[in-house]
Amino acid sequence: MRGMTNAIVVQGLVKRFGAQTALDGVDLTVAEGTVLGLLGPNGAGKTTVVRILSTLLEPDAGRAEVVGLDVVRQAGEVRASIGLTGQYAAVDEYLTGQENLEMVGRLYRLGKRESRSRAAQLLERFELTDAARRPAKTYSGGMRRRLDIAASLIARPRVLFLDEPTTGLDPRSRLGMWEFIADLVSDGTTILLTTQYLEEADRLADRMVVIDHGRVIARGTADDLKAQVGGERLELTVGSVEELARAADALRSLALDEPRCDEQTRRLTLPVTGGAATLAEALRRLESTGATVLDVGLRRPDLDDVFLTLTGHAADDERAGAPSDDDAADRTPATAGGALR
Ligand SMILES: Nc1ncnc2c1ncn2[C@@H]1O[C@H](COP(=O)(O)OP(=O)(O)OP(=O)(O)O)[C@@H](O)[C@H]1O
Ligand SMILES: [Mg+2]
């Protein structure tokens, strides 16, 4: 039943690369049938968590279980239960879409017929049927990404790891991907998703864990995290600097804290509660001051505000550049495949 047991349990996970501590004691759980969004700036340790949970890397300390199986001692069984879509697409350029999926099916020991029908089914679902007979090297970035995710679903995994599943997709493809992911969840799949798109986490994740420098710095629902950085704000722009002062005087008693005035932009910002009723009251008061209101709105903190507050920098600062050699491990389906080793 949804949320009754944990599909993923991580305790005190530590991973070092030489002198560098990539994970410094990470704890997290993911309830069965739910989505956990793992967020954090570049280099925070997200991919390292995913690689340990998908058995591609061994931790230096701590433990992790996926569907009740230890990722180190029962790595083979873990691999048979999971799907992984790495941060960089794991697609064989010279094989067609159909062949790519059939190959992965065979790696999972699905049998020829089953591999073929599962491949066709997934190509259809990811809108790749028309391109099924073309080599993957002719695919666009979005098509490769879809093929890659299709490959991770071949063996109907109970737990799916998606490392930045929509990075590099255009907005329409991203929306499509969100729908696919939502469908998987409604079918009961447990998902751990890393992303730098906070809107994506907001949309898809039941709970979020934010890491930075290998440590968990916040966790909870999107609302919990937003509440941590503060409540709603009334923001308005008036016609002149004198009006700014008058507006501030009129609205001061509605604010939880001293209104902030920016004379340059003639913008007034005040922390408030009460939502639309407060907005209506503010507009009545402004009208009585005779000030020209050019723009007014109620703003709630979004996850971008959360991220900025927690980590001191925006989510999409210094986006990752080219993949390093080490990421090659994520690129071969064989490594992620369940039946190998
Ligand atoms: N194989 C490796 N050898 C050495 N250092 C590594 C290795 N893999 C990861 N690291 C380091 O560990 C830290 C965490 O890296 P990781 O790839 O987990 O971050 P991330 O949160 O996925 O970042 P991004 O958002 O850029 O994908 C980084 O400082 C990285 O340089
Ligand atoms: Mg990463």
Best CA proximity match to 137, nearest among 91, 90, 101, 86: 91
Choose from 66-75, 104-113, 149-158 the range with maximum mean pLDDT.
66-75
pLDDT, the chain, mean: 87
pLDDT for the residue 250? 95
Rounded CA separation 279/55 (Å): 52
Rounded CA separation 73/66 (Å): 12
Quote the ligand 2 centre to 320 CA distance (angstroms). 8
pLDDT for the residue 335? 34
Which band of pLDDT confidence, cut at 50, 70 and 90, is reported for residue 328?
very low
Atom of ligand 1 nearest to the CA of 87: 27
Which band of pLDDT confidence, cut at 50, 70 and 90, is reported for residue 108?
confident
Is 264 near ligand 1, meaning CB less than 6 Å away? no
Tokens at residue 224, please?
């919990």
Token pair 């290998």 in the structure block, residue: 214
pLDDT digits (tens, 9 = 90+) for 25-38: 999 999 999 999 99
Query: Which residue lies with its CA nearest to atom 7 of ligand 1?
Result: 17
Quote the ligand 2 centre to 68 CA distance (angstroms). 25
Residue 320 has pLDDT above 50, yes or no: no
pLDDT digits (tens, 9 = 90+) for 231-252: 788 999 999 999 999 999 999 9
How would you write the chain as a 3-class SS string?
CCCCCEEEEEEEEEEEECCEEEEEEEEEEEECCCEEEEECCCCCCHHHHHHHHCCCCCCCEEEEEECCEECCCCHHHHHHHEEEECCCCCCCCCCEHHHHHHHHHHHCCCCHHHHHHHHHHHHHHCCCHHHCCCEHHHCCHHHHHHHHHHHHHCCCCCEEEEECCCCCCCHHHHHHHHHHHHHHHHCCCEEEEEECCHHHHHHHCCEEEEEECCEEEEEECHHHHHHHCCCCEEEEEECCHHHHHHHHHHHHHHCCCCCEEECCCCEEEEECCCHHHHHHHHHHHHHHHCCCEEEEEEECCCHHHHHHHHHCCCCCCCCCCCCCHHHHHHHCHHHHCCCCC
Residue 8 has pLDDT above 60, yes or no: yes
Is 326 near ligand 1, meaning CB less than 6 Å away? yes
More confident residue, 333 or 303: 303
pLDDT for the residue 316? 55
Of the chain, the percentage scoring pLDDT greater than 90 comes to 61
Is CATH 3.30.365.10 correct for 231-300? no
Q: Where in the chain is the domain with CATH 3.40.50.300?
A: 6-226+319-340
Give the count of beta carbons closer than 10 Å to the beta carbon of residue 294: 12
pLDDT for the residue 50? 97
Query: Which residue lies with its CA nearest to atom 1 of ligand 1?
Result: 326
More confident residue, 79 or 3: 79
Mutation test residue for ligand 1: of 10, 20, 167, 194, the one with most atoms within 8 Å of CB? 20
Q: Over range 207-213, report the average pLDDT.
A: 94
Q: Which residues surround ligand 2, an ion (CB under 5 A)?
A: 46-47, 87
Mutation test residue for ligand 1: of 14, 16, 42, 47, the one with most atoms within 8 Å of CB? 47
pLDDT for the residue 339? 31
CATH topology of domain 6-226+319-340: Rossmann fold (3.40.50)
Is 22 near ligand 1, meaning CB less than 6 Å away? yes
Q: Where in the chain is the domain with CATH 3.30.70.100?
A: 231-300
Please, is 177 exposed, middle or buried when counting C-beta atoms within 10 Å of its C-beta (0-12, 13-18, 19+)? buried
Query: Which residue lies with its CA nearest to atom 8 of ligand 1?
Result: 48
Is 324 near ligand 1, meaning CB less than 6 Å away? no
pTM assigned to the model: 0.78
Is 165 near ligand 1, meaning CB less than 6 Å away? no
pLDDT digits (tens, 9 = 90+) for 279-308: 999 999 999 999 999 999 998 877 777 777
Query: 44-48, 101-105, 208-212, 309-313: which range is least confident on average?
Result: 309-313
